[in-house]
Amino acid sequence: MDAMVVERFLQYVKFATQSDPATGMTPSTPGQMEFAWVLCEEMKELGLQEVTVDEHGYVMGFLPSNLEKETPAIGFIAHMDTSPEMSGKHVRPQIIEKYAGNDIVLNKENGIVLSTEEFPELSRYVGQTLITTDGNTLLGADDKAGIAEIMTALEYLIRHPEIKHGKICVCFTPDEEIGEGPEHFDVKKFGAKFAFTVDGGELGELEFENFHAANAHIVFKGRNFHPGYAKNKMINSIAMANEFIASLPKKEIPENTSGYEGFFHVYSIKGEVETTEVDILIRDFDRERFGWRKNTIENGVREFSKRYGLPIELELKDQYSNMREKIEPVHYIIDIARQAMQEVEVKPLIVPIRGGTDGARLSFMGLPTPNLFTGGHNFHGRYEYIPVYSMEKAVQVIVRIAELCTKI
């Protein structure tokens, strides 16, 4: 099983599938559609049924039930794109067998090292086989490891018909990394009662909580005069914006928060004396606190507009919600995933997602979708790596979930 999942993964990372928020298309890049057709053909060769690639690059198909009785269809989902934050072209994986616990030189020429001091979790994988980058690109385990794990689990089930399972629906989506994975997802066509994204991090991660999220775009208006004659006349929108930012709770920023703590994150500011634009991410797990954060922004805008006697424009948009609200009524699917992990000797690590996930939006679209681990570390950058053992365990968890769901 480990050889199959590794072979698939190493083939998949050869495809350049970075998403691009600037194109306005779905999929946003041609490499994703190319990869979609490759996966489509592989799924057909495995024996999946009704395999399609739609105009937006969504690959869907299903493995028929081998039960006599009818049980609810379940689903597994992973995304084809890699992050725009670093190149995913010409990925050259390195395989480190029987890792000795030392620093790993990814690129000697450029002095790029996967350091045990910077990444102490490496010590957990002594004696295991690791797959790393060559220091020039990301690896693509987010989420080609998830795709490889799902495909390998399906092949294992097909080769072992004695393992009973219901209908298993599969979808590989584009553009997750730019927040558009569920944009054209057809829940009805997919056909599952619930699903799991296989898109998490380290071994054992099981996630069914994420942030409530909003984005605030604020335009501060100023008044410009010659600086030599500006006394009591000039209003500098840059200074106004800085003052507004300083008025937000100083400790509630990403650098100071973890776990279930929310934050305000000023991630963009650009302007001149006349006009300054500020973008702020608003995040919280608790809906009431989330509402308070949005009110803080709205009240602050009103106060500063009144103080300076100038209009301030605010565009406040909700982005996604905490999927826990949709998972709690069907909490048995979390219990199934936890049991599956325990039965294949993986310790469940239930953690909140300090970000968004396709599963959140899908859950609010009527498809409850918690998230399973892939096994990878340090996604989106040159220090990304994945232990082969963790990939193999992900395959075992998927297979066991399929078995356990026959008892629903």
pLDDT number for residue 179: 86
Contacts of 242 (CB under 8 A, 6+ apart): none
pLDDT number for residue 357: 82
Told to judge if 81 belongs to the known catalytic residues of this protein, a careful annotator would answer yes
Domains of the chain (ranges, CATH numbers): 2-209+323-407 (3.40.630.10), 212-320 (3.30.70.360)
User: Which of these, 43, 69, 59, 51, lies nearest to 166 by C-alpha position?
Assistant: 69
Catalytic residue among 176, 207, 358, 384: 176
pLDDT number for residue 66: 96
Q: What is the 3-state composition of the chain as percent helix, strand, coil, each rounded to the nearest 5?
A: 35, 25, 40
pLDDT number for residue 1: 60
Told to judge if 176 belongs to the known catalytic residues of this protein, a careful annotator would answer yes
pLDDT number for residue 2: 67
* Amino acid (one-letter) located at 213: A
Catalytic residue among 42, 81, 180, 207: 81
Q: What are the 10-residue block averages of pLDDT along the chain, 408 residues in total?
A: 89 97 95 98 98 98 95 97 94 97 95 96 97 97 97 97 97 94 96 97 96 96 92 95 97 95 97 97 97 98 96 95 95 98 97 87 96 96 97 98 95
Strands (E) located in 108-167: 112-114, 130-132
223 contacts 310 by C-beta, under 8 angstroms: yes
Contacts of 353 (CB under 8 A, 6+ apart): 207, 209, 210, 211, 360, 371
Count of helices and strands (H, E) across the chain: 10, 17
